[in-house]
Structure formats: C-alpha cells, structure tokens
Amino acid sequence: MTEHTMTTRFLEDAFAGESQAHMKYQLFADIAAKQGMPNIARLFRAISYAELVHARNHLKALGDMGDTADNLQAAVDGETFEIAEMYPVYQQTARMQGEEQAERATHYALEAEKIHAELYRQAKEAASENEDLDLDTVYICPVCGHTVVGNAPDCCPICGVKGERFTSFEA
C-alpha cells in the first residue's frame, strides 16, 4: 500500500478509469458483434482485458485485495453503501429531474444490490469458517440485474422480463 496521499488518490482515480474502460469496451464489443463486426468485437474484448489487468495492478498497489473473507467484507461494504446512500439519492434526483431512464436504471440497480449484499454476507460467513458457500445455480436478469439462486422465476419481479431470458451461472 502506498504511503503518500497524492499517489493513493492517483491510483484510486486510475483504478476507476481503467475499470470503466474495461466495462465500456465489453459493452462496445457486444454492439460490434451484433452489427456483424466480429473482429472489431474481438479487438474491444482484447483491449478490455488489458484494462482489467491495469485495474488489478492499481488495486493491488493500493493494498485493497485481501483474502476471500476480507474481499467479501469489502463487497458487503460496497453493496451496503450503494443500498443505503448512493442509489436512493441517485434515484430521487433522477425522479426530481424527470429522467425516467435514469430513474429506472437506478431502481433496478438498488433492488439487485439488496440481494447481492445478502449473498455476500452468506458467503462471508462460510469463508470465515474456511468453507466454500453452498451455492446452487445463480440466475441474473439481463434487463435489471435481479439475482436469484436456485431457479429462474417465470418472470422477473423487478422488470417483468421472462425468466427464460435470465443468464445462468451453473453450479
């Protein structure tokens, strides 16, 4: 971990920027693929991976990567902040300003983060006992991020998308 405030701030900013680039390029790759440009999609994915490497290096230099129990606590803390402070304010502001798409996006995220925080808490309990989490298939709604363990619902309780469209992460 760095000892200098300015270096720490720069690494945090660099981590945020590289993380955003990684995600943007993944999403841009999906668009290129849908438009029939597989090589451009592959280029976006390749460079996205490089941005992930940069982000990992910055996070490591910050000393923000611990063992699994520590990482799970960081995840719980992050999700809890989003639930308690970040998304309620973002959603209220979007509503106040009449930004329906932003309001919907923040509502979707807020509802999903509640589930994520609980799943991370359960995982942390297991990891604290040096055990892996007993976890069935995880299903994620491709529209709102609603997360379900076990079986996908007939339709998403948050956005209404059909359960057959959920992405599965097999056990």
* Range 29-55 average pLDDT: 97
* Range 141-148 average pLDDT: 97
Q: 3.90.420.10, 3.60.150.10, 1.20.1260.10, 1.10.760.10: which CATH number matches 67-131?
A: 1.20.1260.10
Q: How far is CA 156 from CA 52, 144, 171, in A?
A: 31, 9, 21
Q: Give the closest residue to 113 by CA, choosing from 138, 92, 84.
A: 84
CATH architecture of 5-62: Up-down Bundle (1.20)
Q: What is the predicted pLDDT for the residue at 23?
A: 98
The CATH number of domain 135-171 is 2.30.30.90:
no
Neighbouring C-beta atoms of residue 97, cutoff 10 Å: 10
Evaluate if residue 1 carries a pLDDT over 70. no
Q: What proportion of the chain, given as a percentage, has pLDDT over 70?
A: 99
Which band of pLDDT confidence, cut at 50, 70 and 90, is reported for residue 3? confident
Evaluate if residue 2 carries a pLDDT over 80. no
Domain ranges of the chain: 5-62, 67-131, 135-171
* Range 134-155 average pLDDT: 97
pTM: 0.88
Biggest alpha carbon distance in the chain? 52
| Span 60-80, pLDDT tens digits | 999 999 999 999 999 999 999
Query: Is the CB of residue 155 less than 8 Å from the CB of residue 163?
Result: yes
Which amino acid, one-letter code, is at 74?
A: A
Gap between the Cα atoms of 56 and 52, Å rounded: 6
Q: What is the predicted pLDDT for the residue at 170?
A: 94
Domains 67-131 and 135-171 fall in the same CATH topology: no
Rg (CA), the chain: 18
